Amino acid sequence: MVNYSYISFVLIIPLVVFLITGLFGKKMPGLSGILGALGMLGAACLSYFVAYQYFLVDGRVDGIYPTVMAFKQTWLQFTPSLKIDIGIILDPIAVMMLVVVTTVSFMVHLYSIGYMHGEERYATYYSFLSLFSFSMLGLVVSSNIFQMYMFWELVGVSSFLLVGFYFTKPSAVAAAKKAFIVTRFADLGFLAGILILSFYSESLDFQTIIHNMMDYNGTIFLNANAASFMGVSALTWALCLIFIGGAGKSAMFPFHIWLPDAMEGPTPVSALIHAATMVVAGVFLVARLFPVYSQVPAALDVVMYVGAFSAFFAAIIACTQTDIKRVLAYSTMSQIGYMMFALGVSGYWGEEGLGFTASMFHLFTHAMFKALLFLGAGAVIHYVHSNEMGDMGGLWKKMPITHIVFFIACLAISGVPPLSGFFSKEEILTAAYQHNKIVYAVGLLTACLTAFYMFRLFLMIFWNKEYKAHGRTEHHGEAPMTMKLPLLILAIATIFAGIIPFSMYVSADGTAVESHIHLREASMAVAAGAIGIFSAFFLYLKKNERPEMISSAFGALYRTAYKKFYVDELYLFVTKNMIFNFIAVPAAWIDRNVVDGMMDLIAAVTENLSDSIKSIQSGKISSYVMWFFVGAILLSMMIVYAL
């Protein structure tokens, strides 16, 4: 077993880059982009090396991949039994996430050199990006649930900073606030879950928690299962509350409302944070605690139903949106729903852990093709200067490279073999089929809708009609080299990521699972995708009347979906009309009139009283003496006569 402590450089590099670009970036604006990209390149190379070392050189010990503590330090020692460690844990999912995060982050750093060129706060942008990379990498290697919570909040902060990057735009500010508040609200559940879980498992350490909870006959597991609140065991409560935190970050229903608005940030940021890395933190959290979840079927069912519902719900909304980034945002939500329900249908041991493997596999492939889609959309927006599909169309002639890579990514997300999305999606659907037929049906329907809205998007951007420049003259070509290169690299990853024998490396219990294509499930998935693709071609290849007719035929359903099922309005109603009017307004009234009034009353009484007696202190010595004599005489008379 080699020493993995060099892995800490993967974290240190982005942190140092963040400090340098943050402190001195204004003095060397051009350099900060190159510095950031080089730093991430270094981090990416390091994590590839770690992955190579971990999976291929060291390999399995006793048939499973060992969990390596690359670094461990006691950080806060409260009492002999209660302590918080800080450390770096390496296991298959952590190593996989390291690869994903550094790869996408490097691509985005590289891409941003071109995309953000000439931006006034260029250096600030890079320092935020490095801060995000640092926090995300810290999150995935956290050995301790408390440490993870800290990095969890740090990614939230960097997401807030980057969504609100164009802080002169009111919509961006509102979106940043919304993203922060919604995820923060969900994190309340996460914190409560951490406290309950660590109280019952008597540790904050992932390994100790998992070890204690996997011991069926141990007192700790039995206690956690026996203690109940409102008829549900403490362990189930803890896991459901932790899942609420994960759902907030991963934009699961009903905490998804922040994700579409977060598209106000620069597009590369959307690719990095809101498509590939941060939003899968919730999936990663459930996967990290998966051994514990697998003990509690009720909690896993919650994960499964929330995931399946979110996947389907988001797919319907995505079919009606016209802002290309919003379509991609809902598609992200839908795909994360896929990962969630894949975890929900998974078991722990051996073959039953197919869902877990599939979920992680989909996370991996999704990161590649969704980052590609977002970066491609960024290139389109860069060219057209608009987010609206209506302003696009017929771009294939103007942007041939973007057109091709976008096509590849759309095929991948639609699950067309042999692209990467096919393998992971097929595995998820197979796992769902073996566990729960309803979820399988929802997944299949979602796959069909996914293919439909992705090709709707693709055709609306690149075909549909002749491109007419609207007003602004196009003063540049397709995109600079720094933007094309990441697109090409990610396209290659999108094509070939699927042939990685993923189940050999990542599985729930660490053993190798033999994965094979299940012909029936695979053909069903491909058929569903094909239906979606062909109907999209039928409706959107040439400009015609059919989409209008269909949307008017659906009438109310279409309008509701277009309005995102009024979830935002519902939130606004609850927060503004109910919480604000019935709690905040009366509370403010009480504060202003009762609490402040009390203070005002005391002050007024004191003032009046002092006004009436202040003339005693006249500054005239003779009057003081007069009073003194009167007092002295009275006192002496009391002494002489009364006593």
Partner 1 sequence: MGDMKFILAISFALFFIGAYGFLTRRNMITMLMAVELMLNAVNINFVVFNKYLYADKMDGLFFTIFIITIAAAEAAVAIAIIINLYRKFKSIDENDIDTLRW
Please say which residue, 57 or 616, places its beta carbon nearer to partner 1: 616
Q: Least distance (Å) from partner 1 to the CB of residue 622?
A: 6
Q: Least distance (Å) from partner 1 to the CB of residue 24?
A: 58
Q: Least distance (Å) from partner 1 to the CB of residue 606?
A: 14
Tell me the three state secondary structure of residue 90.
strand
Nearest to 96 by CA among 249, 246, 239, 287: 287
Which H or E run includes 380?
helix 354-384
| Cβ-based neighbour number of residue 503 at 10 Å | 22
Please say which residue, 5 or 623, places its beta carbon nearer to partner 1: 623
Query: Taking CB under 8 A as the rule, does residue 473 contact partner 1?
Result: no
Question: Which residues are CB-contacts of 68 (< 8 A; sequence separation ≥ 6)?
Answer: 1, 4, 54, 89, 90, 91
Please say which residue, 73 or 610, places its beta carbon nearer to partner 1: 610
Please say which residue, 541 or 630, places its beta carbon nearer to partner 1: 630
Q: How far is CA 22 from CA 35, 153, 242, in A?
A: 12, 20, 33
Q: Least distance (Å) from partner 1 to the CB of residue 183?
A: 58
Candidates 96-104, 280-288, 312-320, 621-629: pick the segment binding partner 1 (CB under 8 A): 621-629
Burial 148-158 (b: 16+ CB within 10 A, else e): bbebbbbbbeb
What is the DSSP pairing of strand 68-77 with strand 83-90? Answer: antiparallel
Q: How far is CA 481 from CA 61, 109, 401, 406, 426, in A?
A: 45, 13, 11, 17, 35
For residue 360, give both structure tokens. Answer: 């992680």
- Report how far residue 270's alpha carbon sits from residue 352's, in angstroms, rounded to the nearest whole number: 34
Please say which residue, 74 or 618, places its beta carbon nearer to partner 1: 618
Q: Least distance (Å) from partner 1 to the CB of residue 625?
A: 6
Please say which residue, 604 or 625, places its beta carbon nearer to partner 1: 625
Candidates 108-116, 152-160, 520-528, 618-626: pick the segment binding partner 1 (CB under 8 A): 618-626
Candidates 443-451, 553-561, 597-605, 624-632: pick the segment binding partner 1 (CB under 8 A): 624-632
Candidates 500-508, 542-550, 572-580, 619-627: pick the segment binding partner 1 (CB under 8 A): 619-627
Angle between helices 481-496 and 354-384 (to 10 degrees): 150
Q: Which of 230, 619, 639, 641 binds partner 1 (CB under 8 A)?
A: 619
Map tokens 């402590």 to a residue. Answer: 5
Q: Least distance (Å) from partner 1 to the CB of residue 602?
A: 20
Please say which residue, 516 or 614, places its beta carbon nearer to partner 1: 614
Query: Taking CB under 8 A as the rule, does residue 626 contact partner 1?
Result: yes
Q: Least distance (Å) from partner 1 to the CB of residue 610?
A: 8
Q: Least distance (Å) from partner 1 to the CB of residue 631?
A: 14
Candidates 3-11, 407-415, 546-554, 625-633: pick the segment binding partner 1 (CB under 8 A): 625-633
For residue 549, give both structure tokens. Answer: 């007719």
Candidates 2-10, 85-93, 332-340, 611-619: pick the segment binding partner 1 (CB under 8 A): 611-619
Q: In three state form, how does the secondary structure of 274-342 look?
A: HHHCHHHHHHHHHHHCHHHHCCCHHHHHHHHHHHHHHHHHHHHHHCCCCEHHHHHHHHHHHHHHHHHHH
| Amino acid at site 325 | K
CB 269 within 8 A of CB 165: yes
CB 48 within 8 A of CB 101: no
Q: Least distance (Å) from partner 1 to the CB of residue 617?
A: 5
Query: Taking CB under 8 A as the rule, does residue 614 contact partner 1?
Result: yes
Q: What is the dihedral of CA 163, 168, 172, 176, to 10 degrees?
A: 50
Please say which residue, 549 or 605, places its beta carbon nearer to partner 1: 605
Q: Least distance (Å) from partner 1 to the CB of residue 620?
A: 6
Please say which residue, 61 or 609, places its beta carbon nearer to partner 1: 609
Query: Taking CB under 8 A as the rule, does residue 621 contact partner 1?
Result: yes
Instruction: Give the phi and the psi of residue 567 in degrees, each rounded to 5.
Output: -70, -40
Please say which residue, 554 or 628, places its beta carbon nearer to partner 1: 628
Question: Which residues are CB-contacts of 105 (< 8 A; sequence separation ≥ 6)?
Answer: 14, 40, 43, 44, 129, 132, 133, 136, 272, 277
Please say which residue, 570 or 625, places its beta carbon nearer to partner 1: 625
For residue 132, give both structure tokens. Answer: 């995000």
Query: Taking CB under 8 A as the rule, does residue 620 contact partner 1?
Result: yes
Is the sign of the CA dihedral 577, 579, 583, 589 positive or negative?
A: negative
Q: Least distance (Å) from partner 1 to the CB of residue 77?
A: 58
Q: Least distance (Å) from partner 1 to the CB of residue 621?
A: 5
Candidates 93-101, 108-116, 354-362, 612-620: pick the segment binding partner 1 (CB under 8 A): 612-620
Distance in angstroms between the alpha carbons of the first and the last residue of the chain? 97
Q: Least distance (Å) from partner 1 to the CB of residue 605?
A: 18
- Report how far residue 277's alpha carbon sits from residue 189's, in angstroms, rounded to the nearest whole number: 21
Please say which residue, 588 or 625, places its beta carbon nearer to partner 1: 625
Q: Least distance (Å) from partner 1 to the CB of residue 633?
A: 10
Angle between helices 324-344 and 297-318 (to 10 degrees): 160
Please say which residue, 219 or 618, places its beta carbon nearer to partner 1: 618
Exposed / middle / buried, residue 38 (Cβ in 10 Å: 0-12, 13-18, 19+): middle
Please say which residue, 481 or 621, places its beta carbon nearer to partner 1: 621
Q: Least distance (Å) from partner 1 to the CB of residue 187?
A: 56
Query: Taking CB under 8 A as the rule, does residue 617 contact partner 1?
Result: yes
Query: Taking CB under 8 A as the rule, does residue 625 contact partner 1?
Result: yes
CB 335 within 8 A of CB 446: no
Candidates 170-178, 255-263, 461-469, 614-622: pick the segment binding partner 1 (CB under 8 A): 614-622
Candidates 78-86, 101-109, 263-271, 615-623: pick the segment binding partner 1 (CB under 8 A): 615-623
Count interface residues toward partner 1 (CB under 8 A). 11
Q: Least distance (Å) from partner 1 to the CB of residue 585?
A: 43
Q: Which of 77, 552, 618, 636 binds partner 1 (CB under 8 A)?
A: 618
For residue 364, give both structure tokens. Answer: 């991996």
Question: What residues between 474 and 493 interact with partner 1 by CB under 8 A?
Answer: none
Q: How many CA atoms lie within 13 A of 573 on its CB side?
A: 5
Query: Taking CB under 8 A as the rule, does residue 538 contact partner 1?
Result: no
Please say which residue, 79 or 615, places its beta carbon nearer to partner 1: 615
- Ramachandran bin of 230, using left for φ above 0, alpha for ψ from -120 to 50, beta for the remaining angles: left
Please say which residue, 5 or 618, places its beta carbon nearer to partner 1: 618
Binding site for partner 1 (CB under 8 A): 614-615, 617-622, 625-626, 629
